[in-house]
Structure 1
């Protein structure tokens, strides 16, 4: 029996993870769940899965949940950052699925690693902001980091049994998002509703917008650098509109391995939770023959966020954390209607270029850089006349 804790159980990845759990009832059990503000959905999850511990973001929601569940439920209820940490370090869990969005996932993931728990990682920001710190911590505590992102899961699968020294390059695929064919002048009119209509994937709002700007792929480039110990010059991004090939690995002899599947997050979630097995799944299978697989070079003029991510990764130190924090603030401002779509990378660039990257040795140093970047980005988004196109 594998016992899991899920950080972000009411989000897109968390809900799909519980669908995987449903398929393997008796083999995988969720013993701790942490949610945000969707207390009604969390209540339904508690009644169905009967976890021993749950957490919500707000104290008033925790009070409500305790009252509804009653004293005899057997479920402890926490809230806030304390609740996230309690979920991540819950002694009964052997694997923690980090599926919260943003840098908020960093502290609880590191706390879980310190407890020697294996990490099913669906939170890019953890490795983007603190990759060197997280990877070294996992090595010291012998905690496995199993990628849940479809792209990194694909690379992981392609490298299974291979010698990493034989890798020539990693090729991450991107759908191109909903605006792949938009002319630059048309992109000025993009609304949040338009950006949230991803052509292939069903995801949460933040990651969906990141996919539309290609920042999501930039974050994945930095994540891949730490997951697979490979330099940025050997990580390539190609646009693949069909989202059938989830990523590829090219080897020194010229051979290329690719992982293909329908675009359904339940498959990489299941692989992480059942590794090294490959039991039958409920995910639809590819229909053969596949009519076409096409590839394009990313347009970095229309989608500069990808270039900014490479720039931040190569700068190293605190710069990726600063880039990520600025992007989180800018995306939130866009979704709130405060800035335009094309202003998102402009805000990120402005914040990055106002920061001198420094080496870090502690989580506190990363969080300090993160906080500075958020304040700077907030200031820019509050006076956006020069950024709104």
Structure 2
């Protein structure tokens, strides 16, 4: 029987690659729902090609425009309500959440409570409210399968292993486009420089996060919740070739790694097929052509965002939510050239100094903090 998939963020980088996975394995998967923020032109093409039962457009005016344009009886939803309805649709088995930012939190929670398997590419869901999400997943007996290449690698390395025997999780990082730049030169970088990622094709926000190493910081927080490990047992290692996607060291000092070409179709496909695997239709890794694999420690002075993420995790409670919300606003400001590269960590640290973290109890708690920090950062810049 085919697995029926809803894709949130279908016109983004992950969403497009997920549709390629579906298309390449049409005997195994079927798209029943698609959602976008505003990109209705591309969504209209996807509707014609994949024929989902329902779609959602977050922007209500764009949703109305799409509804007026399409000539089918497909259901067109809008706003957060539309995302939530799509996330819980009865026909679906799997929700791929690949929207960017904390907007992905409520759809993930809704899908969990509807009993859907979660293919999670929206790391902010766990950064902002990891405790609630993991508790609810356990309560409803729902699997959360990570789609980020790093967390997918760890997930695969831990299959059949005793998590109590983990000594260390090692997240690998490409180092981004500025790995070899001096701190002095980084003060004057422009968005066009930061968007030139050496290995991966990603959306603008994630690519900027990769250039600051905030993406890796958010992944540290995500790993804490996904794998139930202490902060001190999560390390980051720069691996420029992006062939080893992450590693796990066990208490006997054995290290397991997952390798593959830097192509997001592999972790997406694995999330869809888990616990099984299907024949690979993705480029094969040829180690003799790679030649060598190298590693180095991240430069925390040059990339302070990684340190700030660790500090947020140490502070606990609502502090990771503050870091995430502040970062989202600041990345957008950097892309608009309203602030400089090092203004991103500067304002994040400022927000952390102002905020007094507390243990959140509900989703509404973290949404209120998220709203506060966005307004605070905007008032500062």
TM-score, normalized by length of structure 2? 0.98
Q: Which residue of 2 aligns with 1:312?
A: 312
- The alpha-carbon deviation at position 64 of structure 1 amounts to 2.1
Q: How does 1:230-241 map to 2 (within 5 A)?
A: 230-241=229-240
Q: Which residue of 2 aligns with 1:208?
A: 207
C-alpha separation between the residues in 2 aligned to 1:36 and 1:108? Answer: 13
After superposition, give the CA deviation of every residue in 1:320-360 in whole Å (9 maximum; x if it has no partner): 00110000011010001100011101111100111000011
C-alpha separation between the residues in 1 aligned to 2:352 and 2:280? Answer: 43
C-alpha separation between the residues in 2 aligned to 1:60 and 1:324? Answer: 28
Q: Which runs of 5+ in 2 are unaligned?
A: none
C-alpha separation between the residues in 1 aligned to 2:307 and 2:61? Answer: 42
Q: How does 1:242-257 map to 2 (within 5 A)?
A: 242-257=241-256
Q: How does 1:222-371 map to 2 (within 5 A)?
A: 222-289=221-288, 290-371=290-371
After superposition, give the CA deviation of every residue in 1:140-176 in whole Å (9 maximum; x if it has no partner): 1111100000000000000001111111100000000
**Partner SS, residue 32 of structure 1:** strand
Q: Which residue of 1 aligns with 2:20?
A: 19
- The alpha-carbon deviation at position 57 of structure 1 amounts to 2.1
* Structure 2 residue 78 is the aligned partner of structure 1 residue 79: yes
Q: How does 1:76-115 map to 2 (within 5 A)?
A: 76-115=75-114
- The alpha-carbon deviation at position 274 of structure 1 amounts to 0.8
What's the RMSD between the two structures over aligned residues?
A: 0.8
* Structure 2 residue 54 is the aligned partner of structure 1 residue 48: no
Q: Which residue of 1 aligns with 2:167?
A: 168
C-alpha separation between the residues in 2 aligned to 1:97 and 1:331? Answer: 24
**Partner SS, residue 146 of structure 1:** strand
**Partner SS, residue 253 of structure 1:** coil
Q: Which residue of 2 aligns with 1:57?
A: 58
- The alpha-carbon deviation at position 67 of structure 1 amounts to 2.0
TM-score, normalized by length of structure 1? 0.96
**Partner SS, residue 357 of structure 1:** coil
Q: Which residue of 2 aligns with 1:154?
A: 153
C-alpha separation between the residues in 1 aligned to 2:17 and 2:380? Answer: 36
- The alpha-carbon deviation at position 101 of structure 1 amounts to 0.1
Q: Which residue of 1 aligns with 2:37?
A: 36
C-alpha separation between the residues in 2 aligned to 1:365 and 1:62? Answer: 29
Q: Which runs of 5+ in 1 are unaligned?
A: 382-389
Which segment drifts farther, 81-90 or 177-186?
Answer: 81-90
C-alpha separation between the residues in 1 aligned to 2:362 and 2:102? Answer: 15
C-alpha separation between the residues in 2 aligned to 1:168 and 1:298? Answer: 20
C-alpha separation between the residues in 1 aligned to 2:258 and 2:89? Answer: 34
Q: Which residue of 2 aligns with 1:133?
A: 132
**Partner SS, residue 170 of structure 1:** strand
After superposition, give the CA deviation of every residue in 1:176-212 in whole Å (9 maximum; x if it has no partner): 0000011111001110111111000000000000000
- The alpha-carbon deviation at position 60 of structure 1 amounts to 2.4
**Partner SS, residue 97 of structure 1:** strand
**Partner SS, residue 250 of structure 1:** strand
C-alpha separation between the residues in 2 aligned to 1:124 and 1:100? Answer: 9
- The alpha-carbon deviation at position 68 of structure 1 amounts to 2.0
C-alpha separation between the residues in 2 aligned to 1:126 and 1:56? Answer: 20
- The alpha-carbon deviation at position 49 of structure 1 amounts to 0.8
